[in-house]
Chains A and B, each alone.
Chain A
Amino acid sequence: EPEVTQTPSHQVTQMGQEVILRCVPISNHLYFYWYRQILGQKVEFLVSFYNNEISEKSEIFDDQFSVERPDGSNFTLKIRSTKLEDSAMYFCASSEPLSYEQYFGPGTRLTVT
């Protein structure tokens, strides 16, 4: 069964460093999302992406964040200058056209020290 994959599974970085989290959505899906979940807290929407542009973004998704679909398969989230409070589990999700069901990847645990 097709699934969303994410790499790396765990990323440790120092405050102020840039990180890129990678996702490979399901191949025929056209809508892509990033969410984050701080340990023990709720899932929070970051951004949705369709047709090579951002469709929606939350207040969390400030100028430090960017997303890109550099080729036909990858979908990336970049954090330019990480802060301690960026430590969280980051989930990528995708959905197919005309469907509202989102399929999530296993997540990348980002630890900022």
Chain B
Amino acid sequence: DVKVTQSSRYLVKRTGEKVFLECVQDMDHENMFWYRQDPGLGLRLIYFSYDVKMKEKGDIPEGYSVSREKKERFSLILESTSTNQTSMYLCASSRQGAIWAGELFFGEGSRLTVL
């Protein structure tokens, strides 16, 4: 079975602090994604990566950056958190074929609260 592991399930931070969310997948997938999920807004794509060191902006990249130094690992960085970044963050991965072809697998999510 595909396993996507997010390092932190729950985090509480103060405004202005830096947050580093890590995601690791064990199925050698080429594509990795970061979403956030908010009540009433659904899932929104922040960034995705289709290869090591490659990244593409999604719908809401402002205030976020990402890093993909190894194929299995995709990190989401919030350099200076704000209260409007309180959310559930979900990492996902899929196999290449075409970037749009693969079945998407999600991690358990990281619930971030910014005070």
A and B interact physically:
no
User: CB within 8 Å of A: which residues of B?
Assistant: none
